[in-house]
Amino acid sequence: MAEAHQAVGFRPSLTSDGVEVELSAPVLQEIYLSGLRSWKRHLSRFWNDFLTGVFPASPLSWLFLFSAIQLAWFLQLDPSLGLMEKIKELLPDWGGQHHRLRGILAAALFASCLWGALIFTLHVALRLLLSYHGWLLEPHGAMSSPTKTWLALVRIFSGRHPMLFSYQRSLPRQPVPSVQDTVRKYLESVRPVLSDEDFDWTAVLAQEFLRLQASLLQWYLRLKSWWASNYVSDWWEEFVYLRSRNPLMVNSNYYMMDFLYVTPTPLQAARAGNAIHALLLYRHRLNRQEIPPVRGAQWARVELWSCGVGPGKQLTARGFLQTLLMGMRPLCSAQYEKIFNTTRIPGVQRDYIHHLHDSQHVAVFHRGRFFRVGTHSRNSLLSPRALEQQFQRILDDPSPACPYEEHLAALTAAPRDTWAQVRTSLKTQAAEALEVVEGAAFFVSLDAEPAGLTREDPAASLDAYAHALLAGRGHDRWFDKSFTLIVFSNGKLGLSVEHSWADCPISGHMWEFTLATECFQLGYSADGHCKGHPDPTLPQPQRLQWDLPDQQIHSSISVALRGAKILSENVDCHVFPFSLFGKSFIRRCHLSSDSFIQIALQLAHFRDRGQFCLTYESAMTRLFLEGRTETVRSCTREACSFVRAMEDKEKTDPQCLALFRVAVDKHQALLKAAMSGQGVDRHLFALYIVSRFLHLQSPFLTQVHSEQWQLSTSQIPVQQMHLFDIHNYPDYVSSGGGFGPADEHGYGVSYIFMGDDMITFHISSKKSSTKTDSHRLGQHIEDALLDVASLFQAGQHFKRQFRGSREEDSRRRCGFLSRQTGASKTSMTSPEI
């Protein structure tokens, strides 16, 4: 989500003060270390790797094989063709009385070798099968013979009841694209935004790069792709995130919202108790690998297909084929490992991620004070009611904050090198308190103000809600933690997520489970409290003591607070639900919902700025081992042709519609290429990193990585629709999240399809820019969606339905839905989880 800002801002050859330095390690040493890190990760989870590594076989299959060999031996048959006799000869001679024991050991060794060979064969076969991406290119409603064969083989080799990491050993490695293809695609992507003169100059630089440097850099990337788990992901984490010296707040972190129209309980402590209990249940399932691995079917509804499939909808032949294809393809689960017990530790030149195996407490912030709240009692998880009791004790605690304690967390919103220097002093003076915060399962902020949608001013209340989640007051979030759970005084929830450890779909998966579990499964009593009974034997939450006598720390906190407030106040957040149509209408048009929105965003941005710009859309590459993201460059020549036609009054609707379909098809092709490892930006990024290691100056690569993304976009996927009943309870769906703009004069736009008939947009920009206005772009997006929909006969009535301004529409919608959801939320039918 917020990665576009980091991708633009990374400078691997600069220190924080701008002094030029060179990367010290030779490139071969760096490639060696990348592979070493990969192997260390595998060894650190050896036992889990053993349990899941034999998948799709099981440990019981060894016993079955051993028993079959023993039975054959009893029947005087030798399935080993003499190998067991050879093994017996190699075993020590313990005397005649142990002859039978030697036979059993020989059979066990032979069974183990044969079992291991079969498992290895299964893994290799499955990896080869999963390397096939021809299914992505299949036309809608059709399936070629090779894809049918592939589908049948995948179903045979995939096994049943996989654990979270069962497929990790079988996932293919991300391929290194052809450098000629990458350069060609890059030139095609920048053509719409460059003048003829600038494009010709860029083309000259590209040809010079291909002639002089490309083959050498490509050779090193291919070497790394064979040795390390992924040729780009560890460098992406290292240089884009951990070496960035910018503040995390706004620039890197992102937020996720609660239900839009529903708050299950107005009691802050009760909502915190249920939510934290649900989060810890998720962690328990994660530790036991009981979370099923995410398969492509959950992304089919999000990123690729528009096949007319949905809850309560008839499954068409086209939809069946496409959902079946995607449902057989597992995604990488590596990013799930660091959701909990993880902190990003600041360093002077680079940060590092500190992950603990376990943590049995959370760190809580309320009214400038820090507390430690235990989450377990006698090795069992505290009940939601017991957790509510602990949080209520914190809310009732009248003790004031210590000097400088209230604003201490502003240091985590400071530039990273500044925070690293102060943390060194803080560690010597308040080591215990710092260890409690950084060693917590996650951070909890109990805000003293309410948040969320209000009837009185829906638009302003949603904007304030988004701003509170993204930046808060600058000193009430510990931005280093993997995520901060924010609980407002009226019971509204939200997340602030640090970006380096994983991407949005991972935290989104956790967040969906949390909202569904705390509302549908745990529930609340009639008076709004958590179900169950308090535990009076629990000790009081531990108040953390920060001994901060150092004047230098005081001044650093004050400086960090001023910087955080300036950064926070400069962000213009705007959130609006668009309810005139959603993905059900787009499906009826036989179009991809994501591509529909992306092309509409091009039209809206052109109307806002009067020009085209480089557009960043995040796409996942988790089809590959340890894959993260790739960029889809959505501003294509086809999209620009459509936008110009829409602004040309002489163009007819059929002409515009034909151009729109061409633009959608082009976007789909780019998205599929990105997902299958054939994107542009990660390859160019890795080439640039290798050139820096080799001290090669490449004007072409330097120009590529000096580009500014004035429009950064992302779709928030809804991955677990089975947890929600959107037809009976359409309001009980997360309203998505957002992130800061990637450029000082740009926009950050995210969107989520809420059910079938609503799209919620999250827009951000900088108030200091005279070129951007989040509310203005929101109006352009709404108009663009209506204009695009009116090109279709089925959508020509939307403009007639539209009444008044977006603010009036939001107020009407809020009042209507408030009447629908006024009943007790605990009486709902609970879907199975």
Residue range 391-433, pLDDT digits in tens:
999 999 999 998 889 999 999 999 999 999 999 999 998 999 9
Q: What pLDDT score does 612 carry?
A: 96
Residue 830, pLDDT score:
35
Contacts 24+ apart (CB under 8 A), 33-39: 34/224, 34/227, 34/228, 34/234, 34/235, 35/224, 35/227, 35/228, 35/229, 37/228, 37/234, 38/228, 38/229, 38/230, 38/234, 38/626
Active site residue 705: no
* Count of C-beta atoms within a 10 Å radius of residue 684: 22
Res 114 pLDDT > 90:
no
Mean pLDDT of 66-94: 76
pLDDT at 7: 61
Compute the distance between CA of residue 379 and CA of residue 392 in angstroms, rounded to an integer. 23
Band of residue 25 on the pLDDT scale cut at 50, 70, 90 = low
51: pLDDT confidence band, cut at 50, 70 and 90?
low
Highest mean pLDDT among 295-309, 479-493, 731-745: 479-493
Q: Which residue has the tokens 């801002």?
A: 9
User: Residue 46: which residues within 8 A CB-CB, separation 6 or more?
Assistant: none
**Inter-residue contact 241 to 485 (CB < 8 Å):** no
Q: Percent of the chain, pLDDT > 70? A: 84
The predicted structure's pLDDT at residue 832: 33
**Using 50, 70 and 90 to split pLDDT, how confident is the model at 602?**
very high
Return the pLDDT at 794: 62
Which band of pLDDT confidence, cut at 50, 70 and 90, is reported for residue 299?
very low
Separation between Cα atoms, residue 490 and residue 508, nearest integer Å: 23
Tell me which of 50-54, 178-182, 484-488, 513-517 is least confident. 50-54
101-110, 436-445, 478-487, 574-583: segment of lowest average pLDDT: 101-110
| List 5, 366, 499, 683, catalytic entry | 499
Residue 98: pLDDT band with limits 50, 70, 90: low
Contact (CB, 8 A) for 216 and 209: no
pLDDT at 568 over 90: yes
Q: What is the pTM of this model?
A: 0.86
Q: What is the pLDDT of residue 95?
A: 61
- CB count within 10 Å of CB 376 equals 13
How many angstroms separate the CA atoms of 631 and 678, rounded? 10
Reported confidence tier of residue 37, pLDDT bands at 50, 70, 90: low
Rounded Cα distance between 531 and 270, Å, is 9
CA distance 269 to 361: 16
Torsion of CA 499, 502, 503, 508, to 10 degrees: -100
Residue 444's pLDDT band (cuts 50, 70, 90): very high
Q: Which of the four pLDDT bands, split at 50, 70 and 90, describes residue 514? A: very high
Domains parsed from the chain with CATH numbers: 180-228+679-707 (no CATH), 246-292+335-571 (3.30.559.70), 579-676+709-809 (3.30.559.10)
pLDDT at 323 over 80: no
How would DSSP label each residue in 326-379?
HHT-B---GGGGGSSSEEEE--SS--EEEE-S---EEEEEETTEEEEEE-EETT
- HSE-CB at 545 with a 13 A cutoff on CA atoms is 3
The alpha carbon torsion through 116, 120, 121, 123 (nearest 10 deg) reads 140
For residue 774, pLDDT beyond 90: yes
- Strand-pairing partners, residue 234, are none
Query: Model confidence over 196-210: pLDDT tens digits?
Result: 999 999 999 999 999
Give mean pLDDT, residues 543-558: 91
Which is more confident, 599 or 809? 599
What would the DSSP string read from start to end of 123-190?
Answer: HHHHHHHHT--GGGGPPTT---HHHHHHHHHHHHHS-SS--TTTTGGGSPPPPPPPHHHHHHHHHHHH
The bridge status of strand 352-355 relative to strand 342-345 is antiparallel
- Of residues 162 and 263, the one with the higher pLDDT is 263
Integer Cα distance of 582 and 736 in angstroms: 15
The beta strand positions in 356-442, using DSSP E, are 361-366, 369-374, 376-377, 380-381
Segment holding 642, helix H or strand E:
helix 637-646
Alpha carbons within 13 angstroms on the beta-carbon side of residue 615 total 28
* CA pair distance 809, 758, nearest whole angstrom: 13
More confident: 68 or 211: 211
Residues in the chain: 833
Tokens of 738: 């957002």
Work out the average pLDDT over 345-361: 94
Q: In what order do the strands lie in the sheet with 361-366?
A: 542-543, 369-374, 361-366, 443-446, 483-487, 493-497, 254-257, 737-739
CB 461 within 8 A of CB 454: yes
What is the reported pLDDT for 52? Answer: 59
Please tell me the predicted confidence (pLDDT) of residue 94: 65
Q: Give pLDDT tens digits for 612-670.
A: 999 999 999 999 999 999 999 999 999 999 999 999 999 999 999 999 999 999 999 99
**CB-based contact 390:541 (threshold 8 Å):** yes
Highest mean pLDDT among 105-114, 631-640, 805-814: 631-640
Task: Decide if pLDDT at 181 tops 90.
Answer: yes
Residue 474 pLDDT > 70:
yes
DSSP tag of 14: B
Mean pLDDT of the chain: 85
